[in-house]
Amino acid sequence: MNEQVLQDTARRLVSGDKGLLAMDESNPTCNKRFANLGIPQTAEARRAWRELIVTTPRLGECISGAILYDETIRQQKKDGTPFVKVLADAGIIPGIKVDAGAKDMAGHSGEKITEGLDGLRDRLAEYVQMGARFAKWRAVIAVGDGIPSQACIDANAHALPRYAALCQEAGLVPIVEPEVLMDGAHTLERCGEATEQVLRTVFYQLYVQGVVLEEMILKPNMVLAGLSSPRQALVDEVADATVGCLLRAVSAAVAGIAFLSGGQTAELASARLNAMNVRFKSRLPWALAFSFARAIQQLALENWQGKEVNVPAAQRALYHRARCNRAARRGEYSAAMESE
């Protein structure tokens, strides 16, 4: 019974041409984004920003699920309606970020290990009570001189299935997110090697730990050159490298793939997802969807600036980006959409 529900939820999250909206920034990350734009870093400002997002008209046309943060899943609209109810009424499945963040890894300078397994079973039970139907855990892998180390890959690849197994036990679809970071001057090829190594290790551990692949979604990075690399690949090169890597390393049984945006511009994230679907959609075992945070939210945040009067413009910007990414899932995104 639980298994059928989990498979149905996983499939719904990536069905048709919709994707996920990650709005699960921790308070420090959200505050950092606010500070960059001179927006007050208060609980009320964060609440108002989240209300703006979840009440965006027609959001449910493009977004299948929204990933919340612990503070956010407990918050409400000004009129007292819980955000979880607002989302569910819009046909958007509520999800929750459950990791406790990536912390410095002892003895491994420049590398991180994600924490949050202790007490996770109890926290998951509470989130299910609150209406969450899926969860997310993010591991981060840095690329640089001599890294990623095998130790960092192994430690993170071991934590992800432990989290995923607990989710499936609790009745939540796990989103498994091993993110190879864009920071650095590395080449696209180096990112591809690291991503493939990470994914192969993660999928071996998912198998060892008995995670049901049909009841999970993979949230990977795209294969890209580092942000400060002088040679940035063409859109089609990114599409080919990314899909090639996934075909080699990801089991065909997973319910779907939903990319993170990872610091790409919003337009490039849409264009690259579009190219993958144009070139490969008909021959892939999984849907290629999106689970973007910055690439959907950033333009809207810049429009909002923390001011009530800017809410409609910010919501239009948010809807625009969601719509561009829906088009990218169909392989119908074009730069012309940006001026509509």
**Catalytic (active site) residue 103:** no
Residue closer to ligand 13P, measured from CB, 210 or 258 = 258
Q: Which of residues 141-170 bind ligand 13P (CB under 6 A)?
A: none
At 77, give phi and psi (nearest 5°).
-65, 165
- Residues 290 to 319: which contact ligand 13P by CB under 6 A? 292-295
Active site residue 177: yes
Give the helix, strand, coil percentages of the chain, each rounded to 5.
50, 15, 35
Contact 15, 64 (CB under 8 A): yes
Residues in the chain, overall count = 340
Q: Which is nearer to ligand 13P, 83 or 259 (CB)?
A: 259
As a whole number of angstroms, the distance between CA 317 and CA 281 comes to: 27
* CA gap 213, 211 in Å, rounded: 6
Q: Does 262 bind ligand 13P (CB under 6 A)?
A: yes
**Which of these segments, 50-58, 114-122, 226-234, 289-297, binds ligand 13P (CB under 6 A)?**
289-297
Task: Please report whether residue 68 would count as binding ligand 13P according to CB under 6 A.
Answer: no
Q: Among residues 25, 177, 196, 215, which one is catalytic?
A: 177
Minimal distance in Å, beta carbon 3 to ligand 13P?
A: 26
Q: How far is the CB of 80 from ligand 13P (least distance, A)?
A: 28
CA separation, residue 312 to residues 53, 153, 271 (Å): 11, 43, 26
Does 260 bind ligand 13P (CB under 6 A)? Our answer is: yes
Pick from 208, 216, 119: which is nearest to 158 by CA?
208
| CA 252/CA 213 separation, integer angstroms | 9
- The answer to the question of residue 134 lying near ligand 13P (CB under 6 A) is no
- What residues act catalytically? 177, 219
Binding site for ligand 13P (CB under 6 A): 22, 138, 177, 260-262, 292-295
